[in-house]
Amino acid sequence: MNLQHITQFFQAALESSFYLAPREPGLTHEELFEVGRQFGLQEGEIADALLPVVTQTFGGGSKRLIPNAMMMHQWAMFPFVQIPDFRNLAAFDFVVSEMNACIRAMGGRAARIQREVLVERGIAKNLPRLAVEAAITIMIVGDQIVVKDGQIASVSGRVYEPLPSEQRLMVGTPKHNETRARAFSIVTDVIGRRTDGRPSHVEALDAFPDALERLNYGAFRSWWVQIVAELRQSNPNFAPVSALVLSASLVEGALAFVVRHAQAAGLGVLGSKSFIENPRTWKIDDLVSSASAGRDTAILDTASRQRAEWLIGARQRIHAGRMLSEHPGGVPDLRPEEAREAKTVAELVVRRVLDWLDRYPPFRTQS
């Protein structure tokens, strides 16, 4: 997948946000990386592709990023068509027709209409609210209308002709672009996570910082994000030991952060007396073992426990004394596929922890 293809994907993703959340268009930096990961991209590919695409934020204090003005200007020009076309032509025709009626009745400079009134009129004509809102927002970023104090006014003061649907007829039949369709689907999921209660990330390692907030360990967000970032940057072919150690660190961290919650809830899991002591004395072996206890309340099942125990054993190669004892003839080389397996195990264990938290959510602040 070349850079041009990836850039086009992000252009379509940002455009999609204007139709899915027209009152809050654009995507945050975090959301853009989540969109890229769902598309199968790596961190470096995402960062490189965003440079020529994202140039500004939407609104005053918003953290949501939007494309450059020239790109958005074309969205309000209907001879420019890509399939799938996210625009609802009936909604655009409605907004344009209402503005034209105001201009003819009041004059171009005086023509005004309340945005909320316009939206409600559209709904009364059986148009989807989201489609009408999107049409208004696209015409705003396309420099065709402006909104001030909730009132919509024309930029040019002239009647808009021809209607968007009539402009569309002037174009041939463009080819379907699967990348655009994929972008729209992914952004639908990401924007949905803003309000539907699901974690803001699909990937377990990226979703866990939100769990830290719920567990009253929000101060450790940056630590977690840093470890995850370094793990993703580690190359299994050239730095397999780093991948192994970082993966084990995340497994240990995810389990350690839920110990107090499990104990407070009296679930049986992570109930070992060794966890009454200072956390600095806790061992990853004990965390994995205890996370597998508790029967129905266990965090790890047999399969995930075995894979976590493999990770623990493989990580011990960083301890010279352990190697001298277990491999007196010399420790075997760590293969790249073992490093990749370590990453997979970390993701598996963290996902199991997140699923467990969904079953037994922390209802109160932990001490």
Residue 365's pLDDT is: 42
Which residues is 65 bridged to in the sheet?
A: 27, 57
- CA distances (Å), origin 209, targets 39, 98, 291, 345: 22, 47, 20, 18
* CB contact set of 228 (below 8 Å; sequence gap of 6+): 205, 206, 250
- Are the beta carbons of 24 and 64 closer than 8 angstroms? yes
Distance (Å, whole) CA 15 – CA 18: 6
- Indicate the SS3 state at residue 45: helix
- Indicate the SS3 state at residue 151: strand
- Are the beta carbons of 334 and 310 closer than 8 angstroms? no
CATH T-level assignment (fold) for domain 89-168: Arc Repressor Mutant, subunit A (1.10.10)
pTM over 0.75: no
- Are the beta carbons of 350 and 254 closer than 8 angstroms? yes
Q: What sign has the CA pseudo-torsion 165, 166, 171, 173?
A: positive
- Are the beta carbons of 44 and 83 closer than 8 angstroms? no
Which residues is 153 bridged to in the sheet?
A: 146
Residue 66 backbone dihedrals phi, psi, to 5 degrees: -130, 165
177-202 b/e (C-beta count within 10 Å ≥ 16 → b): bebbebbbebbeebbebeeeeebebe
Percentage helix, strand, coil, to 5, in the chain? Answer: 60, 5, 35
Residue 200's pLDDT is: 60
- Which residues, given as ranges, of the chain have pLDDT below 70? 55-62, 196-202, 322-323, 327, 331-333, 363-367
Residue 347's pLDDT is: 92
- Are the beta carbons of 266 and 362 closer than 8 angstroms? no
* CB contact set of 117 (below 8 Å; sequence gap of 6+): none
Residue 153 backbone dihedrals phi, psi, to 5 degrees: -135, 155
* CB contact set of 111 (below 8 Å; sequence gap of 6+): 99, 102, 103, 105, 153, 154, 157
> Where does residue 150 rank: exposed (0-12), middle (13-18), buried (19+ CB within 10 A)?
exposed
* CB contact set of 83 (below 8 Å; sequence gap of 6+): 174, 175, 176, 177, 180
Extract the runs of DSSP E, i.e. beta strands, from the chain. 54-57, 65-67, 113-114, 145-148, 151-154
Say which DSSP state 275 is in.
G
Nearest to 132 by CA among 77, 78, 95: 95
